[in-house]
Each structure stands twice: as C-alpha cells, then as structure tokens.
Amino acid sequence: MLALLPAFALVAAASVQAECADRDRFTFRVERVRPGPVEGIEVHVELGGGGLAADTVRAGLVRVCIAGGAPGEFVDVRLGEGKRAFRVLYPPNGRLPITHQGSPTIVVCEVKRDCDVLTMEEAGRLIQRAKPSATRLSAGDKEDLFRLWRDSLEAQGMQSGELVEALRRKERQVAASRAASELLSRFATRALEIVDRFRRHAPDALDHPSVGPLTQINAAVAAYNPVYEEMSEKADSYRKATADSWGEARSVQFQALVDEALDVHSRIYSLNELAGLITDCRHGWTTCPDKAAARSRILDGVGRIAVEVESRLQRFQRRKTAFLETLNEELFEVPPRAVPVLGGTVAQ
C-alpha cells in the first residue's frame, strides 16, 4: 500500500493518474549498485518545505506528483522501512533535481548484503555519476560535496567500506588541488602586478616631486615577496600533499609548474637593479651620474622585462589551467587513469 503523508502539497503515486496534472508528474529510476531486486522498496520524495510523498518501486520506477514543482528544483530522497533495509548511495546526500526529461536515477544498496562490500570500481562508478552536477562547482563546494556525501552515509550507519574511503580520498584530493591552485594563482597575480607597476610608474619615478610613483612600485614588491617566499620555502610541503593525494606523477607536474614560476621570478628579480637606479637618481647620488642615460636604461629594461615576464606567465597560466583541468577530470575517476609526466627589494 502506498504511503501518503497528510497535510502536504504532494500527492501519492496511487492517485497520480486521477488527480495529478501532467506538469506535476515526476518519475525516478531506482537501481541497485549490484544486480538484485528493487521492487517494493518504498521511496519518499520531499520538495524543500513544500511537501512529502512516497511510492513503492514498480518495474524499477517510482512516480510521484509534485504540485507546483518546477523542473530543476531539488528534492530530498529517503527510503522507507521494510523487511529488508536499504540505503541511498546516490545521489549525494539524497538530493537530486526533478525533471520531465527522462528519469533521474537513485542508486541503493541493501544493508548487510552489499553496502559495505562495494569494490573500488563500483565506488568509482557512483562518484562518476556526480560529475555532471559538480562540473561547475568551486573547489570548496566540491570538497563539501564529498564530505557531506560521506557524512550522510556515515549517519546511516555506513562507517567504512570502499565508497566511504573513496569519498575521504576525494576530500583530500580537492583540498590538495585547491591549495596548489591558490599558491600558483597568487604567484601569477602578484608577478603580473609587479611588472605592471614598474611599467606604469617607472617613467615618473625619477622626477616626480613626491615619492608617490616609487611608493606604488614598492607596494607591489611588498605584496609579491611573501608569495614568492611561500612558493620557494614551502613548495616541498605542497608537493608532498599533492603526491599523497594524487600520486607521484601529478606531484611531478606540480613541481614542474613551481620550477617554471621560480624561473619567471629570476627575471622579476632583475627589476631590483632598476629600482635601485631610480632611487639613486632621485637622490642625485654619484651612482647616477647621467639621469638621461639612466632614464633610457630604466625604460628599456622595464619594457623588455615586462614583455618577457608577461609572455612566460601566459605559458605558465596555460600549463596551470591544463594541470588543474586534468585533476578535475581525474577527481571523478576511480581508480585514476595512467598519468603522463610533464615535463622593497624583490626577494631572492
């Protein structure tokens, strides 16, 4: 017998045909993670704050009437009690969008039979199902996705097993990739800023009555130095975190990006000499005997260095983006594919 909880806006499947408008009918496919019967499992569907209804699985499907439900809205799915206990393995946290285009899939497992004995391949297939809905999520949101999914399973009593362990690993992977991405992105941002400040303010810094132009340059240098120092001093810890979470091949790729960034730094560091010359000329020191010649040298040097750094950073950004996109693809694959290996004063 179908269960309909009273005082809500949703209608039980038993009366769908008679009482439900076509626009309010929604169907879900129910399947087991391993081959086995799903007929008779009771599925409850709740539209956030709007109502709750239930249907039992027939021919692998449940049908409910969600009055006023709009395609794309999310519902919460849970399983009713029966002679055999089942858990929802997918979607993550039991949340999925309703649609009139096809039937969203709910994947279940039977307690004490197959929930805790999934293979890594089976766990991987479940994680792959989450990929389409997670494609546009930020790194932090992806980390939350895997954590909340795992928390939901553990709340149902699933404390271990391949899926739980795979989700834990995914949390670590996202955290490691986010840390690596943020470090590399901070470096690129600060490096571009420093050459831009030199290019814009060096021409005025020699003769300007105030120290404003030189202050602008020094501010960029002060913002850049800690990022460079973090990359230089802590790269090994970032590399180790990448290796622990993603494997040695990915760690090698990350180290190659760090090495590329440090090579860019070597050109940025050469701006120190030009900054020193600006200061010498402003003070009229003997180290700047010819201000006109110094100006020409500064403008030429800043121009060449800025063009070179910007060109290198463009290549660096492309490689960084490709690296992170590869990690994102691998995030939803268990086990991972084989991986090709890719080949102020400014701090020193």
pLDDT 10s digits, 35-56: 888 999 999 988 876 667 789 9
pLDDT in tens, 85-98: 899 999 998 988 88
Lowest mean pLDDT segment, chosen from 31-40, 61-70, 174-183, 266-275? 61-70
Kindly indicate the confidence band of residue 224, based on its pLDDT and cuts at 50, 70 and 90. very high
Domains and CATH numbers, the chain: 1-117 (2.60.40), 175-331 (no CATH)
Residue 29, SS3 per DSSP: strand
DSSP code of residue 337 = P
| pLDDT above 60: residue 4 | no
What pTM value is reported for the model?
0.80
Kindly indicate the confidence band of residue 337, based on its pLDDT and cuts at 50, 70 and 90. very low
From 211, 169, 186, select the one nearest 330 (Cα to Cα). 169
Interval 192-215 mean pLDDT = 90
Torsion angle (degrees, nearest 10) of CA 218, 220, 222, 228: -140
What the block records as the tokens of 71 is: 């395609």
Q: What percent of the chain has pLDDT over 90?
A: 59
| pLDDT above 90: residue 65 | no
| pLDDT above 50: residue 9 | no
